[in-house]
């Protein structure tokens, strides 16, 4: 009951925070895809780069998120604005699943198909855009899906550096020992994650190629 009362009182505020949250996650995902997919292609093309690239992404993944936000604060330009710090840190986290799935998808394309493409005189570029990427699209989307759900969760911590979002309620609630306040941040974040997961899973299924 307390929660319902709270929701009716603070509906606008929650909506506002949710939009901020979606903004953070959206910008992060665009950046992570723009960086991660090309890196994944690079890893698939040059297997010797797989260790340094995936290794680095892996290390980024292991840094505790609160610490990573802290580390990025003193970085020039980035540190000037909280949302920049948040997006930079979140992008680092989102990269690994995207790079890994892109590389796996492309290396998983049937060798006979690749060879037929080469044998018919397709250029490397044509093979990539007309054969390999379409055939690995559902795997790439699966990576984006994992990264998105991950990012929605971690983005709540961005409030710690003042980047806003649903984490605001969680941190305030923690400080004031106010459970409804915590839930006002946690529940919408969880719903957001579920919705993103569901939506992207539909997309993934639709794009799954025939064998």
Partner 1 sequence: MKEVSFAVPRGETLVLLGRSGAGKTTALKLINRLLEPSGGRVCVEGRATTDWDPIALRRRIGYVIQEAGLFPHYTVEQNVSLVPRLEGWPAERIDARVRELFELVGLNPAEFLSRYPDELSGGQRQRVGVARALAADPPILLMDEPLGALDPLTRGDVRRELHDLQVRLKKTVVIVTHEVSEALLLGTRIGLMENGELRGTYSPKEFLNATEPLAAAFSAQVRELEAAGEQT
Taking the least distance from each CB to partner 1, the nearer of 58 and 138 is 138
Taking the least distance from each CB to partner 1, the nearer of 4 and 120 is 120
Q: Is 106 in the site for partner 1 (CB under 8 A)?
A: no
Cα 197-200-201 angle, rounded to 5 deg = 80
Residue 150 near residue 90, CB atoms below 8 Å: no
Choices 1-9, 120-128, 166-174, 187-195; region in contact with partner 1 by CB under 8 A: 120-128
Nearest distance from residue 136's CB to partner 1, in Å? 10
Of 39, 131, 144, 170, the one binding partner 1 by CB under 8 A: 131
**Looking only at residues 53 through 72 of this chain, which bind partner 1 when binding is defined by CB under 8 A?**
none
Of 19, 67, 113, 202, the one binding partner 1 by CB under 8 A: 113
Q: Is 119 in the site for partner 1 (CB under 8 A)?
A: yes
Q: Is 117 in the site for partner 1 (CB under 8 A)?
A: yes
Nearest distance from residue 116's CB to partner 1, in Å? 3
Q: Is 210 in the site for partner 1 (CB under 8 A)?
A: yes
Nearest distance from residue 209's CB to partner 1, in Å? 5
In sequence order, which residues have a C-beta less than 8 Å from that of residue 153 and are 6 or more positions away?
189, 193
Write out the residues near partner 1 by the rule CB under 8 A: 110, 112-113, 115-123, 126, 131, 134-135, 209-211
């Amino acid at each position: 009951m307390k929660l319902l009362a709270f929701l009716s009182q603070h509906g606008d505020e929650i909506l506002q925070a949710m939009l901020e949250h979606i903004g953070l996650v959206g910008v992060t995902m665009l950046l992570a895809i723009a960086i991660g997919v090309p890196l994944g292609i690079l890893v698939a093309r040059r297997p010797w780069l797989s260790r340094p690239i995936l290794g680095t992404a892996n290390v980024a993944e292991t840094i505790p998120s609160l610490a990573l936000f802290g580390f990025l604060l003193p970085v020039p330009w980035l540190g000037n604005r909280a949302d920049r710090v948040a997006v930079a840190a979140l992008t680092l986290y989102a990269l690994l699943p995207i790079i890994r799935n892109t590389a796996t998808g492309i290396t998983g394309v049937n060798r006979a198909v690749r060879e037929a493409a080469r044998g018919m005189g397709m250029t490397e570029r044509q093979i990539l855009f007309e054969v390999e990427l379409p055939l690995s699209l559902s795997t790439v989307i699966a990576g984006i899906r994992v990264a998105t759900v991950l990012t929605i969760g971690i983005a709540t911590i961005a409030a710690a550096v003042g980047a806003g979002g649903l984490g605001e309620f969680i941190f305030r609630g923690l400080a004031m020992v106010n459970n409804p306040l915590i839930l006002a941040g946690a529940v919408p974040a969880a719903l957001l994650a579920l919705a993103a997961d569901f939506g992207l899973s539909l997309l993934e299924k639709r794009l799954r190629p025939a064998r």
